[in-house]
Amino acid sequence: MGRVQYTELATRYCADVLQGKIPACEFVKQACQRQVDDLARKSFEFHYDEAAANRVCSFIEKLPHVKGSTWAGQSLRLEPWQVFILTTAFGWLDAQGRRRFRVVYIEVPRKNGKSCLTSGVGLYCLTADNELGAEVVTAATKADQARIVLDMARMMVKQTPSLAAHFGIEVREHVILKQKDASTFRALSKDNQGSQDGQNIHCAIIDELHAHKTRDMVAALDTATGARTQPIIWQITTAGNNRAGICYETRDYIKKILNGSQSDDRTFGIIYTVDEGDFWDSEESWRKANPNYGVSVNPEDLKRKAAKALKVASAQNEFLTKHLNVWVNASTAWMNMAAWDACGDPSLDIEDFEGRPCYIGLDLATREDIAAKAYIFPEDDGYVLFGKFYLPEETVEQSENSQYAGWVKDGWITATDGPVIDFDAIEQDLIEDSRRFQVTNIAYDPWQATELAQRLLKEGCPMIEYRNTVQNFSEPMKTLAAWVAEKKLKHDANPALAWMFSNVVAKVDAKDNIYPRKEFPQNKIDGAVASIMPVGLIVQREQTGPSWLENNGVLYAG
């Protein structure tokens, strides 16, 4: 091979990451530690086969670079991080010699050579994986994206005549065909999703998973691999801007595997990004998030883009998402979601707050939007926030949001019967809230809620009208963001609420007032709006006392 054993390179990479010699985020360290721990397991149904691990790397390094003036025509040279991924993904076998990992998830910023690596994986599975009649597909939401990996593989084969001759490969316009056993490598997209019918897929490459709004294609490909003895679903992506999509759901699952809270010996994942508290404009952070820093990732290019992001707010999220792999939703997002996540505490339970003083915010909806209720409990050192959300059962079933059904199942969203939200159910919940907690006020927007508010007043609920205006939202939004930054706010890590907060765009006026907006209709913000309203009550009480409410004619006594 001309190089030390690939497995030795992988072992050295793990050691260098864990010893801090290679800058890496916590997720990469956890992936390396998982491999170290697996190798040390005395009783394990899988074994690490160095020959299998080395074989895939040796194959890929015989392929050529096909793009870029610097490397075009030269043989690929795998970087240590790529060797670690490949040897781990392909080196573990079961007692029958079949591959352990069925799903591989790689999240890495742009320009780190992911398409080149993935094309090599596709060709290996097509030709050298000892699978007769192998069907390899590269899938994406759009046809041109789906073809990127395929077209790169086609060029690799065209520039390697010995490979084509040895395996009997024919390169056609829309497919790479291995004549001997009719193995194929082709592209699929949402546009031609129907062509998945009847497939028996050996290797499914899902490129830019973050672009998939629903789980439909991912589920179809997973089903199509069911008849193979050692299929592999190779998911590779940059960070995205949709926390309600299948990619973020998968990412969250990978995080749980890496931190040990979820056991899954069939899934491998690694996430290259920065850690909480890292300065995104520092070279150390760039190195940590980009494993190919100084190789295919140009330091001067990152420096230029970071400088622009410092001066142009609209460029900051683009830099964070595409070059540091930080998930953000809105292009001009209001909330720092890394700071928000750091305030989460899953052990918090609203049941433990019975009898405690609290403020409630209510943002109603009918069908497409989410009816949201937010509770804020003051504490000596800050505040605790909980949310409760309602959607019609019909909306949950029909929505393109792939997370709704899961959130209902996990209890984060309540599904009400029928095609519209059941206001009666919300009314009864609020009456019960007033009995369970010391509710100071329930803030509501009079739009769609006036009749409900009047009924609740008669039940003794302390309703307070809170109009949806810039004046009522600007200061509370700034205050809430400051609470999060200073860790004065705690919440129960409700994923539905996190998604809604991440969707909020802060519209700024000439007087630096801000107001919550959403970029797209599907990006719901109702939970964030409901949370801002009680913050507004708290801010006003701190500034002027309860008399402000009465003097402005917005307090209704029961």
* Termini Cα distance of the chain: 83
Same domain, 117 and 222: yes
Identify the pLDDT of residue 551: 45
Q: Is residue 305 part of a domain?
A: no
Global pTM value: 0.70
Identify the pLDDT of residue 314: 58
Identify the pLDDT of residue 2: 46
Calculate the alpha carbon distances from 35 to 13, 40, 47, 55, 269 in Å: 11, 9, 12, 19, 11
Same domain, 11 and 91: yes
Q: Give the residue from 271, 286, 320 where a domain finishes.
A: 271
Identify the pLDDT of residue 192: 56
Q: Per-residue confidence at 558, pLDDT binned at 50, 70, 90? A: very low
Q: Is residue 236 part of a domain?
A: yes
Identify the pLDDT of residue 549: 43
Full residue range of the structural domain in which residue 502 is found: 340-551
Identify the pLDDT of residue 508: 73
CATH number for the domain harbouring residue 74: 3.40.50.300
Pull the structure tokens for residue 184: 């194929």
Q: Is residue 12 part of a domain?
A: yes
Nearest to 459 by CA among 441, 477, 440, 432: 432
Number of separate domains in the chain: 2
| Region of residue 118 (phi > 0: left; psi between -120 and 50: alpha; otherwise: beta) | alpha
Same domain, 382 and 506: yes
DSSP, collapsed to helix, strand or coil, labels residue 78 as: coil
Eight-class DSSP state of 248: H
Which tens digits make up the pLDDT trace of 513-538? 888 988 777 789 999 999 999 999 99
Q: Give the residue from 233, 248, 271 where a domain finishes.
A: 271
Q: Is residue 207 part of a domain?
A: yes
Q: Is residue 299 part of a domain?
A: no
Q: Give the residue from 246, 271, 296 where a domain finishes.
A: 271
Which tens digits make up the pLDDT trace of 443-489? 998 877 788 889 999 888 999 999 888 889 999 999 999 999 899 99
Which tens digits make up the pLDDT trace of 284-322? 999 999 999 999 999 999 999 988 877 765 577 788 889
Q: Is residue 129 part of a domain?
A: yes
Which tens digits make up the pLDDT trace of 14-37? 999 999 999 999 999 999 999 999
